[in-house]
Structure 1
Amino acid sequence: MTWLCEYIFYSHILLITILVIILTIRGALSAVHTQDFHPKDWYIPVLASTAFAGIVGFAWQAFTRFSPSKTIRIAFWLSPLLTCAVGILLICIGTPVSSVASAIAFVSAIIQSIYACCVNPRLENATNIVTVSIVDKPPKVTDILLSIIIGTLCSAFLVTGIGGATATGTRIDSLFIFLIIASLTWTMQIIENTIQVAVSHVKFMQFAHTHDVAFMAAFKSAVEKSMGGICFASIFVPVVGVITGLARTVSMVSGDVNEFMFSSANYCSGITSWLVAYGNRWGFVHEGVFNRGIARSSNDTRQLFRRREIQNTINSDLTSSFCFLTGVAAGAMSALIGGIWAFVIHRSYATGVTMYTFFTGYLLSRVAMAWIQASVSAYYVAYSEYPQNQRLDPSHPAYMTFGRQRPQV
């Protein structure tokens, strides 16, 4: 299965590159002959916002590196505010599509705000685990910068194809735009997860064995030995994450309302438990260190957490939420810049530009924050395998015990 995913990924890269080039050329020719599409008014806001997203992503990880406590708190409160601002912009644009998108933005902002209030007591623990995970020999700035630049160039190239499809605006072009967005999502997920595999390899060896592994050596190993598993996981793990979130929502809403809802919640919980066992981000650690395959690695780490009785701690960890919210905040910043710019110079482009730039901003921020999440994953797995290791923070076992007893919010 993994070799097939790798083959499909590389084949799709070739095909999507050809498609983007054709769409871009066709869009340019259409703009010359019909004058209905103004390339400068579309491309400049989109490409400038994409470049800005790369800068914001780099800034997020830099702030986290130097001040985890402040950065985590800022992310949890800034993200809903910026999402609300995007909703206001979409209302001002005034198209039917932007009105629907604005409603989604406002609902999302409310959910984020409620979530931030609920998890506020756990932010100190989140700060502690992030701090202790990243303090020891983080990746070089040049390595992080290189990954962000690659992601930015990838995003910029693919959105040029979206611009070409927008120029003609036929029904088939809507399909092309969907395919390009799907390709962008998968490609950026693979870049992010390759970084996670490489960094978790490096950090696990530091935590567990006091052995230093060069990041580029680990990255090369991930590309050569684990790319198939990474390609598969880049589809499977996000889907599992969405299903898990929906299952938790059903569980929270159902309570003891009625027997049907209670049974549905239990059924969803059973399905998600099985899915998580064979596809979770913790599996990237063993994938990088032992190259066991993502399914086996995920199951091994899940069983390891269960034996150590720290599943509540793992399920309550806020690192993934923190990285998600930094992505939302970065996407919102990019959307505000691109959307306002397009709104001023060519209002009819504002809706599309706002949504595309939000998407690219979110994905680029997740790439930039991948090493943070990988470091935390490596720390948890290293602690679970070697709980008496003096290399680990001596205060952390108390936190682990706290996690066993505290119910998840």
Structure 2
Amino acid sequence: MVMKQFADAATTVVVVESRTHNQLRDLPFALLFVIHLLLAAAGILYLNVVYLHDMSETKLHNLQRWFPQLGVAVVTGGAFAYLCQGLFRKYPNFMARSIIWISPFLTLVSASMLMSTEVAASLSIGVVILIFFICQILYSCLVLRRLKYAADLLSFSINTAKEVHGTYMISFWVLVMAFVWLMFWSFGVVSALTFQLAPLVVLALIVSLAWTMETLQNVVCAATARGVATYYTVGTDQTHWDRSLLSAFTSWFGSICFGSLTVPVLRMLRAMARGLNRVHSDNEFMFSCADCFDKATSTSTKYANNWAYVQVAVHGKAFVHASRDTFSLFRQRHLDVVIKNDLANSFFVFTGISGGMLCVIVCGGWTFGTHKALTASISVVSFLIGYFMACIMMAVPQGAVYAHYVCYGENPSCQGLSASPIPKRLKELLADVDTELTKVS
């Protein structure tokens, strides 16, 4: 009887997938992304033509002085990304507890290397990175009490992802796409630095890269989330990774592009709002503005959040619809209390920072020994390359964690989630809230 129910559920999943496969949702954002990518490619080709026409070996930003280091940054970032994914897959609990210390260590080494150049630009960036290192250390110390649950959740989610055939193949092919684009993009950055409006052109290229890499990361996240969610629901692996990857680049692609554009911006505004709330003065007008800004950014989470990718992939919803439904689901199950205290996203961000800082150490150190004046600029670009490549590979455990939360919210009694660490953590947090309310009253 149980097997029959699983078979019926599997059939339902396949039927839903076949019905929604050709339904393109949030299509304008998919078109906007493709147009932006074409414009970026055309711009890079134009910059390369201009650069080659006026190429000179005496220029500081010569291709021969830049591209070898950036090529090594792409290779180093890719190798580190694969290594981290393999280690997280094999030793999830150990890596979760280690990455919050590995990342600050690499950050400190990067800061020391840049400050030792005695070049003004490198020294300035080194000081900024040193301040960031202090913030990382403080954060790591503050979250130690919450580490056990986060490590258990990550371990449970990754072990489930292992049961889904082809999950890691998705990240492999997407990283290959990212590798090709980053090599092409690197030519554009070097050429742009010889352009008259170099700062604006480079900024535009970095914004384009951020949206492109965020989109590729969320393609992996959504495709992984679908496989893991189906496994929780059905009890067996009933998905095909190639079909999920195809759907992520077709029917889900508009929603993924939309989310990749809006969620990082809203996340940045949310961080700014929290900062303003902590540092506002006694001025009543400033207090009102900071409070209003904080409430507005908090409300925006209802309409754009990362957990929406699960419902986009599983239920075929548009991004805003999926965000709103997921937000309401979490509120109904009190999962918002757990998510506010979750560290899973911190693990993924710290891994990305580790990849970026490793590229800074390798490529910045190389440049320091050959062309000291270029150390700062090459280090910044190398960091972006390493950061985004690591984030793409970490989208597999990220998608597994998102699917874990959403599936638990939809059906806490689901067989695949019988050993989930969420119920125990939820009980602990709700007990703490009740205790606080009792003290206040």
Q: TM-score band (shorter)?
A: over 0.9
- The match for 2:273 is 247
CA contact 1:31–1:37 (8 Å) conserved in 2: no
Please list, as runs of the form range in 1=range in 2, the aligned pairs for 1:166-181 lying within 5 A after superposition.
166=193, 168=194, 170-181=195-206
Q: Compared with structure 1, are the counterparts of its residues 203 and 314 closer, same or farther at alpha carbon in structure 2 (3 Å cutoff)?
A: same
CA contact 1:316–1:403 (8 Å) conserved in 2: no
The 1-side partners of 2:135 and 2:373 are apart by 30
CA contact 1:286–1:292 (8 Å) conserved in 2: yes
The offset of 1:252, in angstroms, is: 5.0
- The match for 1:161 is 188
Q: 2:71 aligns with which of 37, 42, 47?
A: 47
CA offset digits 1:91-136 (Å, max 9, x no partner)? 2233333233222211111111111001011111111111111112
- The match for 1:316 is 341
Q: 1:385 aligns with which of 387, 404, 410?
A: 410
The offset of 1:217, in angstroms, is: 1.0
CA contact 1:310–1:403 (8 Å) conserved in 2: no
Please list, as runs of the form range in 1=range in 2, the aligned pairs for 1:3-42 lying within 5 A after superposition.
3-32=27-56, 37-42=61-66
- The match for 2:154 is 130
- Give the SS at the match of 1:31: coil
Q: Compared with structure 1, are the counterparts of its residues 236 and 406 closer, same or farther at alpha carbon in structure 2 (3 Å cutoff)?
A: farther
1:238 counterpart = 2:257: no
Q: Which moved more, 1:209-218 or 1:381-390?
A: 209-218
Opposite residue 100 of structure 1, the aligned amino acid is S
1:182 counterpart = 2:207: yes
Q: 1:204 aligns with which of 217, 220, 229?
A: 229
- The match for 1:345 is 370
The 2-side partners of 1:164 and 1:300 are apart by 45
The 1-side partners of 2:432 and 2:126 are apart by 36
- Give the SS at the match of 2:250: helix
What's the C-alpha RMSD, in Å, of the aligned pairs? Answer: 2.2
- The match for 2:299 is 274
Q: Compared with structure 1, are the counterparts of its residues 390 and 252 closer, same or farther at alpha carbon in structure 2 (3 Å cutoff)?
A: farther
Please list, as runs of the form range in 1=range in 2, the aligned pairs for 1:98-109 lying within 5 A after superposition.
98-109=122-133
The offset of 1:393, in angstroms, is: 3.4
Give the alignment's TM-score, normalised by structure 2.
0.86
The 2-side partners of 1:28 and 1:74 are apart by 46
CA contact 1:28–1:39 (8 Å) conserved in 2: no
CA offset digits 1:73-97 (Å, max 9, x no partner)? 2210111221122222222233333
The 2-side partners of 1:318 and 1:287 are apart by 23
Unaligned runs of at least 5 residues, structure 2: 1-24, 434-441
The offset of 1:406, in angstroms, is: 4.8
- The match for 1:74 is 98
- The match for 1:225 is 251
The offset of 1:251, in angstroms, is: 4.4
- Give the SS at the match of 2:86: helix
- Give the SS at the match of 2:301: helix
Opposite residue 146 of structure 1, the aligned amino acid is W
CA offset digits 1:122-167 (Å, max 9, x no partner)? 111111111111112254443322222221221111011111122x
Q: 1:368 aligns with which of 385, 393, 416?
A: 393
Please list, as runs of the form range in 1=range in 2, the aligned pairs for 1:90-101 lying within 5 A after superposition.
90-101=114-125
- Give the SS at the match of 1:115: helix
Q: Compared with structure 1, are the counterparts of its residues 240 and 404 closer, same or farther at alpha carbon in structure 2 (3 Å cutoff)?
A: farther
Give the alignment's TM-score, normalised by structure 1.
0.92
Opposite residue 69 of structure 2, the aligned amino acid is P
Q: Which has the larger radius of gyration?
A: 2
Q: 2:320 aligns with which of 295, 318, 322?
A: 295
Q: 2:172 aligns with which of 121, 132, 145?
A: 145
The 2-side partners of 1:154 and 1:384 are apart by 37
Paired-residue identity, %: 26
The 2-side partners of 1:401 and 1:272 are apart by 28
The 1-side partners of 2:241 and 2:432 are apart by 36
Q: Compared with structure 1, are the counterparts of its residues 239 and 253 closer, same or farther at alpha carbon in structure 2 (3 Å cutoff)?
A: same
